[in-house]
Amino acid sequence: MNELKAKPIYLDYQATTPTDPRVVDAMLPYFYEKFGNAHSRNHSFGWEAEDAIELARGQVATIIGASPKEVIFTSGATESNNLALKGVMKFYGKKKPHLITTVTEHKCVLDSARHLEQEGYKVTYLPVQQNGLVDLEQLKAAITDETALVSIMAVHNEIGVIQPLKEIGEICRERGVFFHCDAAQAVGKIPLDVNDMKIDLMSISGHKIYGPKGVGALFVRRRPRVRVVAQITGGGQERGMRSGTLPTPLIVGLGKACDIALNEMAEENARIMELRNYTLNRFRERLADIYLNGDEENRVAGNLNISFAYVEGESLLMGIKNIAVSSGSACTSASLEPSYVLRALGVDEELAHTSLRIGIGRFTTREELDQAVDAICNEVERLREMSPLWEMAQEGIDIKSIEWAEH
Amino acid sequence: MAYSEKLLDHYENPRNVGSFDKNETAVGTGLVGAPACGDVMKLQIRVSADGIIEDAKFKTFGCGSAIASSSLITEWVKGKTIAEAGAIKNSQIAEELALPPVKIHCSILAEDAIKAAISDYNTKNGKAEVEAAE
Amino acid sequence: MKQPVYLDYNASAPMNATARDAVVAALDVAGNPSSVHGAGRDARKIVDRARRQVADMVGGDPERVIFTSGGTEANNLALNGLEDVVVLTSAIEHPSVIEARHDARRIAVNANGVIDLGALEDMLRVCREAGEKVLVSVMLANNETGVIQPVAQAALLAREYGAKIHCDAVQAVGRVPVDMGRLLVDMVSVSAHKIGGPKGVGALVIAPGVMLVPQIRGGGQEKYRRGGTENVAGIAGFGAAAALVDGKLANIDDITAKRDRLENEILASAPEVVIASRDTARLGNTSCLILPGMPGETQVMAMDLAGVAISSGSACSSGKVRESHVLKEMGVAEPGSAIRVSLGSETTNEEIDMFIRVWSRMRGNAERKKLARNAA
């Protein structure tokens, strides 16, 4: 347990990514020398800030195949998701009060949907299949004349599965329903094109793509035009859709992060995919009774979500202190509930308690993964020796046959 | 979450991990918790003819606090009479390990486990429940 | 070329070196503050430290600091976060307060730009008779004129009538003491980039007993009051800037002396100039100058060409030329001819001289053109 004390290994790239040094370099000048308020349009300090922001707007637009005019900046993907759901439903809701989303969306989408429900809107929460993917027939069946919006994420934060965006987009466009896509985990990780995929709104995060925290964007389609009711008002920035002084350095950082991702995505993905497969194989070679959660094929390169049967996830985390991984999404991992996402996939609750999410990213090395695999496997073996469930399984006792006193 | 040194010591170097043959007459076995809730504790005691707990073993599926709680209680019950062991309270465990509030249920589980083991031993040996409940 | 002169601190202040160092250092911390592992806890520590610093800055409780994306979001949260309340707010608030609630009732201001406490009390009485729950929102210092509002008195009235009170202190922090306890307010909005911190971060600090409905949901951050991964680097910079606010306050007399010299010299050479709220308690760094007959926008552009950055009103209007609602509410003649000059700790006497020189030349040119036109 102590051999790793020296250097922590970061394998939690879905919770947040380290800021790329090139991004930091791009931001630095705007923290000091170039401090104008981008909205003070009549003096040169303001102009300089505005130029930088418009450059970034173009960089964000490019990576998703949008026009810069369709990109508005926010404080992050959570705000973008809130704005997309509430903004669209509040604009179109009188005639079309129905929203469709899935049970495995990010908490901020589900919370916004629940809030809309409390206000009287109708919400359908589609189930997902065992591999985490939406059933397109179920989606088709759920759309009614009253449906205004379908909100489905591109890449899942916990299990990394990639939804069939193009097919979803086709269905939505055909039925005259807007398609919002939470792409916080997808931008820079998979190719995205809002026109090809017929996406009408898309949420983007800075800190999930090696950019800074505290900044994100929302793509809002102009043709056919999507209208949203602003959720933060006063000042009228971002064409009235989102007020507040624009944080120039953060926006410059987001733009730079998109620019780097666009240029390096293909190469980076190949490298990360290779590391992921290598890691998964090493786990499978060494340990019995481990399960990959979420579809293995339709999956983003950097995500592994593995259940280590008979070992409780939190105790496993405690034993691998120098390795930063997550036992669920970062927002909920402080609570003791097993992941709602894994339960929605039909993963047994006892297995849901045994899962780790291992995120591989831009700065991960093979050496780090070797160390991490060794440490995790050692700890799993140690804890299995201590686990009454493992003992029963070895004795051939079916755990499900026992009547447990639930508490 | 900040854990106490005692807790970490029991988690990293758990005492008395293992199993006895549960069919032995002198052995009492308690199995409490549920996999779906994220913790299962198996606690066993071996009792001498004069009613002293000679040895104890545990296996636990659960968080670090659950492992530490079960390790600690196996240490405590050794050398105690069945009545003394049955009188251990979860609050003593929680205090000794400085469990954070969200982990108090681990100490409750450990108390339940020793009680279940004693009850199993008593049933096997035809003794009344009253002895432990005293 | 000469370094441009920046006299638009009320729009945004340059970042303080200490704050910048804090931001840059925090950018290197990889973790998400919600993660339980070491990297996550490191990020959490940064946020918690800043939370204490921001709380200290306004005499609040760290547990009740809600970090937001800025002053605008903080004001929006304050005005929309209480359930089923009638909102009473002054007519000279920042747009982020005014536009947050279009159904708000407006408290009138007098010719000096100070809210009419008698009018507020009448409105509170009407609400009480109608059995309505009330939120009063009054800014501590106006962004355009710098006028300081009688917030504590308004708060006493609010208490008397069982209303809650919010104060937008974005422009006041670092220029006058801000203490929630003394102001008797339930909520206060603050912004980082107006005090030398980074853009993109602000906070709403609330008093015990304030139950807020979140406006941005999901994730459970900020004690379920505001979802979204914390802007760790921005928050670190905000905290560092907040810790330096006492130093800024110590500097304000010096800044005020520079501002007063600027105004005196302008008035001496151009007696037709009107200075808004000159005889009213106002921020020592702000001057709202009205040069009759010359649109504010024209003045701003002419000054910018000569290397002096000022503003013709609140910077938020996104280039749209709008007359100041603040000056209009005060009944000022020719509100469209106003410029706002706002100073900061880094402002030098040479910059003030430069402003006076450039401004006088601009006015002289305008006078000559006028004479030429009249002669023709």
As a whole number, mean pLDDT of residues A62-83 equals 97
Give A-chain residues touching C23 at CB under 8 angstroms.
31
Residue B63: which of A312, A350, A406 has the nearest Cβ?
A312
CA R_g for chain B: 14
pLDDT of residue B36: 83
pLDDT of residue A44: 67
Give A-chain residues touching C46 at CB under 8 angstroms.
none
Whether the CB-CB separation of A270 and A112 falls below 8 Å is answered with no
Q: How confident is the model at residue A162 (pLDDT cuts 50, 70, 90)?
A: very high
Counts of helices then strands in chain B (DSSP H, E): 6, 3
pLDDT of residue A331: 42
Q: Chain C closest CA to A64's CA: distance in Å?
A: 22
What mean pLDDT value characterizes chain C? 93
For A146-185, the three-class secondary structure string (H helix, E strand, C coil) is CEEEEECCCECCCCCEECCHHHHHHHHHHCCCEEEEECCC
In B, minimum Cα distance to A399 occurs at B35
Q: Chain C closest CA to A115's CA: distance in Å?
A: 9
% of chain A beyond a pLDDT of 90: 78
Cross-chain Cβ contact A404/B33 below 8 Å: yes
To the nearest 10°, the Cα dihedral for C222, C227, C233, C235? -40
Give contacts of A 227-266 with C, CB under 8 A: 231-237, 243-250
pLDDT of residue C36: 82
Asked if residue C219 has pLDDT above 90, the reply is no
Give A-chain residues touching B69 at CB under 8 angstroms.
none
Is residue A70 less than 8 Å (CB to CB) from chain C?
no
As a whole number, mean pLDDT of residues B43-57 equals 95
As a whole number, mean pLDDT of residues C108-131 equals 96
Asked if residue C322 has pLDDT above 70, the reply is no
As a whole number, mean pLDDT of residues B79-104 equals 93
Whether the CB-CB separation of C39 and C221 falls below 8 Å is answered with no
In A, minimum Cα distance to B32 occurs at A405
As a whole number, mean pLDDT of residues C73-86 equals 96
Q: Chain A closest CA to C97's CA: distance in Å?
A: 7
Category of C131 on φ-ψ map: left (φ > 0), alpha (ψ -120 to 50) or beta = left
The number of C-alpha atoms within 13 Å of B83 and in the hemisphere containing its C-beta is 6
Considering only A332-336, B37-41, B64-68, C108-112, which range has the smallest mean pLDDT?
A332-336
Asked if residue A335 has pLDDT above 60, the reply is no
Q: Amino acid identity, residue B123? A: T
> A57 versus A5: which is more confidently predicted?
A57
Gap between the Cα atoms of A387 and A290, Å rounded = 15
Sign of CA dihedral C88, C90, C96, C99: positive
Question: pLDDT digit string (tens) for A208-255?
Answer: 999 999 999 999 999 999 999 999 988 888 888 999 989 999 999 999
Cross-chain Cβ contact C8/A43 below 8 Å: yes
Whether the CB-CB separation of C140 and C169 falls below 8 Å is answered with yes
The C-alpha angle with vertex B74 and arms to B71 and B76, in degrees rounded to 5, equals 110
What is the number of other CB atoms lying within 10 angstroms of the CB of residue C118?
Answer: 10
Q: Is B63 a catalytic residue?
A: no
Q: Amino acid identity, residue C16? A: N
Is residue A101 less than 8 Å (CB to CB) from chain C?
no
Tokens, residue A31:
């923290």
pLDDT of residue C325: 87
Cross-chain Cβ contact B61/A311 below 8 Å: yes
Give A-chain residues touching B104 at CB under 8 angstroms.
none
Cross-chain Cβ contact B59/A386 below 8 Å: yes
Question: pLDDT digit string (tens) for A255-289?
Answer: 999 999 999 999 999 999 999 999 999 999 999 99
pLDDT of residue B127: 75
pLDDT of residue C1: 38
Give contacts of B 28-87 with A, CB under 8 A: 31-42, 59-64, 66-67
Cis status of the peptide bond prior to C335, with omega within 30 of 0:
no
Asked if residue B104 has pLDDT above 70, the reply is yes
Candidates A9, A40, A41, A203: best to mutate against C (most CBs of C within 10 A) is A40
Candidates A320, A379, A387, A390: best to mutate against B (most CBs of B within 10 A) is A387
Q: How confident is the model at residue A313 (pLDDT cuts 50, 70, 90)?
A: confident
Is residue A292 less than 8 Å (CB to CB) from chain C?
no
Gap between the Cα atoms of C261 and C266, Å rounded = 8
Give C-chain residues touching A119 at CB under 8 angstroms.
none
Residue A76: which of C228, C301, C304 has the nearest Cβ?
C228
pLDDT of residue A46: 66
pLDDT of residue C320: 52
Asked if residue B1 has pLDDT above 60, the reply is no
Q: How confident is the model at residue A63 (pLDDT cuts 50, 70, 90)?
A: very high
Strands in A254-370 per DSSP E:
290-292, 303-308, 323-324, 355-359
Q: How confident is the model at residue A346 (pLDDT cuts 50, 70, 90)?
A: confident
Counts of helices then strands in chain C (DSSP H, E): 13, 12
Whether the CB-CB separation of C199 and A36 falls below 8 Å is answered with no
Q: How confident is the model at residue C35 (pLDDT cuts 50, 70, 90)?
A: confident
In B, minimum Cα distance to A391 occurs at B59
pLDDT of residue C316: 45
Is residue A32 less than 8 Å (CB to CB) from chain B?
no
Cross-chain Cβ contact C218/A237 below 8 Å: no
Q: How confident is the model at residue C374 (pLDDT cuts 50, 70, 90)?
A: confident
Cross-chain Cβ contact C216/A82 below 8 Å: yes
SS3 category, B107: helix
> B86 versus A403: which is more confidently predicted?
B86
Residue C34: which of A42, A232, A330 has the nearest Cβ?
A330
Q: How confident is the model at residue A334 (pLDDT cuts 50, 70, 90)?
A: very low
Please tell me the pTM assigned to this model: 0.88
Candidates A72, A213, A231, A318: best to mutate against C (most CBs of C within 10 A) is A213
As a whole number, mean pLDDT of residues A45-74 equals 93
Cross-chain Cβ contact C95/A243 below 8 Å: yes
Candidates B7, B9, B61: best to mutate against A (most CBs of A within 10 A) is B61
Q: Chain A closest CA to C160's CA: distance in Å?
A: 30
Gap between the Cα atoms of A103 and A127, Å rounded = 6
User: Considering only CA atoms, which of C318, C303, C291 is closest in space to residue C7?
Assistant: C303
To the nearest 10°, the Cα dihedral for A343, A346, A349, A352? -70
Whether the CB-CB separation of C188 and C58 falls below 8 Å is answered with yes
What mean pLDDT value characterizes chain A? 91
Question: pLDDT digit string (tens) for A104-125?
Answer: 999 999 999 999 999 999 999 9
pLDDT of residue B38: 84
As a whole number, mean pLDDT of residues A13-28 equals 95
Gap between the Cα atoms of C117 and B28, Å rounded = 78
Considering only A92-101, A350-359, C349-358, which range has the smallest mean pLDDT?
A350-359
% of chain A beyond a pLDDT of 70: 92
